[in-house]
Amino acid sequence: LPFFGSVLRRAGCLRGCEEPRLGAASRHRAAEEVRADFQRRVPYSYLQRAYIQLNKLEEAANAAHTFFMANPEHMEIQQDIENYKTTAGKVSLIDQEAKQHMEDYSAGVRHYDKEEYQLAIDFLERALKGYYSEDEDCQIMCEGPQRFEEHEYLEYKAGLYEAIADHYMQVLACKHDCVRELATRSGRISPIENFLPLHYDYLQFAYYRVGDYVKALECAKSYLLFHPDDEDVLENAGYYKDLLEGTMDPDTVKPRKEAKTLLRRHKLESHLLQVAAAGLGYTYTEPNYWNRYGARQDEHSVPSSISSEPEDGPRLSVAKKPVPKPDRELKEGGPLLYSDVKFVYNSQQLNGTQRVLLDNVISEEQCRELHKVASGVMLAGDGYRGKTSPHTPNERFEGATVLKALKYGYEGRVPLKSARLFYDISEKARRIVESYFMLNSTLYFSYTHLVCRTALSGQQERRNDLSHPIHADNCLLDPEANECWKEPPAYTFRDYSALLYMNADFEGGEFIFTEMDAKTVTASIKPKCGRMISFSSGGENPHGVKAVTKGQRCAVALWFTLDPLYRELERIQADEVIAMLDQEHLGPSEMNINPKDEL
């Protein structure tokens, strides 16, 4: 009775607090659809349009930017932002829904990278304070109105204790996940790995560099609460202890209380969730919230003894935390299989990873024949959900798939030999990519597209946009966070990409690679007939296309996967069409597609 008495009093207290301040529940408890729209920042899309009507371009730009931060795949909004930069002059884009603790953390890391250690400390300490405040809010919000799957209130028939336990476990799972929520940027699914411990990791070295060894040891010990076996930080902590010997007892320096409290609570939550899973029939798997895969990418590890310290300070010895490892061994330089294909540049010469540039993949005659196919089968907006200008309003996009070309050939609407050529050269490209990158498993087609982009007359003056904005092919590029999030709506199953160019008689349209910032160009390639650029599809290869300002630029775009589950369905159907044609003795195209012997 005392327990339920306290529950009833608390419920009455909350109800008495809500109604006078917020009004009736119908006024402040939004429907699920509304909550989902706010989570996706849909109101900012409307706000942008409203501000345009009022000619408030700076406010419109900020609304568009705020929406775009949560919807990075929205190309039209991205184009709107570029237009604001042109029409409104210099605009400082502000994310009006930014999480302050996340902004402070990013600022702290930027100052740390510039070796501005006192500024880094100021921002990172503020980020920690904001993090723990947001954590408290997140915990409370989990106790608010919830609608749990399969637990409709009126239909629920469980007994008293099962009902309480069932509801509480849902609330507890929500609270337990606050760690992930606070580490996830707006519009993202994946959190920044190892987010909270990283604050202490950066701080322990920053404090060392400003000469505050007590704080350095305190932060190192706080980090070790999460990762007690981290050899680099253990060495650093030992070094800080050596520095403090003779001035104070290093053992009196303890980890930070708030880190200890949060970790203790988190472990207890995990224990209760696992108990519930065993006793009440829940399915629960504990995620790895403190994955050390995410960590400082620097060399700021101090030596474990003073004797190894040079005159001007500590030796920066151990490479601390490598960049994320790819899920397969990366190789390149395998045979090109065809004697007429000419090697031009490798990854090193293209200033990147898993890149290759080749010439003479197809001949001038084959380029002309493909152009004939293109003019006969392409439709405006094909491959872009019918949008004729999906990436920029200044160009028209047209495309066609292999299956469509073969069907048109079979029906006599285009020469069958030309349609067959499209099929054959895409297979030739696949074989080259598979061989050059020395893949140990079969490379499958994920999508094959013959695409042309045409500059629209009268719309090229003072143009400063791109034909295709900077992106990566299997993840969502986040230049501000220097991350590429491998999550939907990105085509996460893509592993390699290739572009086979058909012509050079146009202006602009250079293919470019950039750094993760989507600004720093690392390589620029001018298309021409028979030239092919191929590369791995991940965040290591952000790329785009400069504006086509005159003429038409055509290419065969190819995306590949190593996972047979994601094979291109149209390609499988095209294979069946080819088999049928061969049975009818129509034969292959005149192109020689048999690889020559080992080079």
Tokens of 438: 């020395």
Residue type at position 383: G
DSSP-based three-state secondary structure for 136: helix
Long-range contacts of 212-217 (CB under 8 A, 24+ apart): 213/240, 213/243, 213/244, 214/244, 214/248, 214/253, 216/240, 217/241, 217/244, 217/250, 217/253
- In whole angstroms, give the CA distance from residue 5 to residue 7: 5
Tokens of 337: 């299989």
- In whole angstroms, give the CA distance from residue 91 to residue 70: 20
Q: Identify whether 303 is preceded by a cis peptide bond (ω within 30 of 0).
A: no
Residue written as tokens 């990075």?
Answer: 72
- Which one-letter DSSP state was computed for residue 251? G
- In whole angstroms, give the CA distance from residue 89 to residue 78: 16
- Which one-letter DSSP state was computed for residue 559? E
Long-range contacts of 380-389 (CB under 8 A, 24+ apart): 383/449, 383/451
Task: Kindly state the helix (H) or strand (E) to which residue 470 belongs, with its residue range.
Answer: strand 466-471
- In whole angstroms, give the CA distance from residue 253 to residue 382: 65
- Which one-letter DSSP state was computed for residue 307? G
DSSP string, 191-246: PPTTHHHHHHHHHHHHHHHTT-HHHHHHHHHHHHHH-TT-HHHHHHHHHHHHHHTT
Q: Are residues 515 and 484 in contact, defined by beta-carbon separation less than 8 angstroms? A: no
21 classed as catalytic? no
In terms of Cα–Cα distance, which of 341, 344, 346 is closest to 331? 346
> Which parts of 358-516 fold into alpha helices (H)?
364-377, 402-410, 416-436
Q: Which of 209, 355, 430, 553 is catalytic?
A: 553
Query: Cα 572 to the chain's mean position, in Å?
Result: 29
Provide the residue count of the chain.
Answer: 599
DSSP-based three-state secondary structure for 494: coil
- In whole angstroms, give the CA distance from residue 592 to residue 388: 35
- In whole angstroms, give the CA distance from residue 220 to residue 242: 14
Q: Are residues 226 and 196 in contact, defined by beta-carbon separation less than 8 angstroms? A: yes
Tokens of 246: 């003779």
Longest dimension (CA), the chain: 92
- Looking only at the bridges linking them, the beta strands covering 548-561 and 444-455 are antiparallel
Q: Which residues are catalytic?
A: 553
